[in-house]
Amino acid sequence: MTARKFLSGLAACTLFAAGAFADVPVRYTDSGPEPLLAHVFEQIEQNQWEAALNETEALVKAYPKFRLGHLIKGDLLLARTRPLQRFGQGGPRVAEEQVADLREEAIARLRAYKNKPTESQVPRYLVQLRSDQKHAVVVDTQKARLYLYQNDNGTPRFVADYYISHGKLGVEKLTEGDKKTPIGVYHVTSSLPRQKLPDLYGNGAYPLNYPNEWDKKMGRKGHGIWLHGTPSDTFSRPPKASDGCVVLANTDLDALAKNLQIGSTPVIISNSIEWLSLDDWQTERQSLLTMIDEWRRDWESLDLERYASHYARDFKSDGKDLDAWLAQKKKVNAGKQWIKVATNNISMFRNPGKDDYVVVTFEQDYLSSNLSNRMQKRQYWIKDGGRWKIVSEDAA
């Protein structure tokens, strides 16, 4: 029967696009429409039409503004009256683009649902959370997914994941108005309540600090990259829909917002998350912590050569280049009998994507024979000649 062939074809192309998922243990921690959606597609695959329609009815009842649910319902109903060849066939031709968008959404939701991270997987970027950073957010634009992690004594523990939309024209934002989402390590800078926003932004908005120091260094332009909700008549938007913002369903935004600390919760946006096993994550974390500690000890040693070995050739700090920086350090060190440096409350995040760097912040406690101070510091470490070196160092 053609109708059957069509719908299982849809299920097949959707589910198979999701790759092998049978072996991945699935954890039902989410509250979104994915579990029902996935079940509907399973039933379609097994030719259980009646059950699939019933579940779809339940789905749109639970999520009345979920357009994808309504489209599947339309298909399942129409398949009873005529053979269907493709997803959303009953929609008018003028709406072809919307149908294609909803198909993308279906694929994205199912793929993320079937490929949930396991307990023993950690996004590589969350190297070290500060004790006051209760949560961290990691976005995977390819999967159209946002993952929320909890800081469990330094180890990131998965809490929840949500479907998201990103820029219409993809990622790697470069210029104002390019409708792209930036890739990088950011944090939420403020909270804009619903009352102060147009309906487009839904239940609220959380601006990010794009462009960050690195972006500025790279000459990236634009502003106004936010996490925000959906308009009141819309449950979710297609995977690529925004002008660069990361968009969540209002209920998801509300749930996420409870865990966002203004000014401190990291929001890391990646094109495709690199996952590490807990063991590998631990090893990488240790080696990066050691790297910081070696820098600290070499500074304490008052041996300028050892200290200089931690700085990259194109280092810059507040307008100073490497030579100027080292000359200054030499001058200061000359007057010291001893230095004690402590780095407390370290946070380390590895940048996703092409620019491989680690952004490190810490509380620097500096004691010396003639001067002491305490400051918040931020360093960017890059791979230079196969070794991690500091390319920028400033007061944070």
List of residues contacting other proteins (CB under 8 A): 1-3, 60, 67-71, 73-75, 77-78, 80-83, 85, 88, 90-95, 98-99, 102
CB 266 within 8 A of CB 185: yes
CB 122 within 8 A of CB 276: yes
* Beta carbon of residue 234, minimum distance to other proteins (angstroms, whole number): 9
Residue closer to other proteins (CB basis): 35 or 91? 91
Q: Which residues pair with 186 in a beta bridge?
A: 267
Residue closer to other proteins (CB basis): 51 or 278? 51
- In angstroms and rounded to an integer, the radius of gyration of the C-alpha atoms of the chain is 25
CA dihedral angle for residue 254, residue 58, residue 78, residue 13, rounded to 10 degrees: 60
Residue closer to other proteins (CB basis): 70 or 179? 70
* Beta carbon of residue 34, minimum distance to other proteins (angstroms, whole number): 18
Is the omega angle on the peptide bond into residue 211 within 30 degrees of 0, that is, cis? yes
* Beta carbon of residue 79, minimum distance to other proteins (angstroms, whole number): 9
Q: Which residues pair with 69 in a beta bridge?
A: none
CB 270 within 8 A of CB 183: yes
* Beta carbon of residue 255, minimum distance to other proteins (angstroms, whole number): 25
Residue closer to other proteins (CB basis): 73 or 310? 73
* Beta carbon of residue 52, minimum distance to other proteins (angstroms, whole number): 13
CB 240 within 8 A of CB 271: no
SS3 call for 48: coil
Residue closer to other proteins (CB basis): 73 or 228? 73
Residue closer to other proteins (CB basis): 79 or 339? 79
- Enter the DSSP assignment of 173: -
Give the count of beta carbons closer than 10 Å to the beta carbon of residue 9. Answer: 16
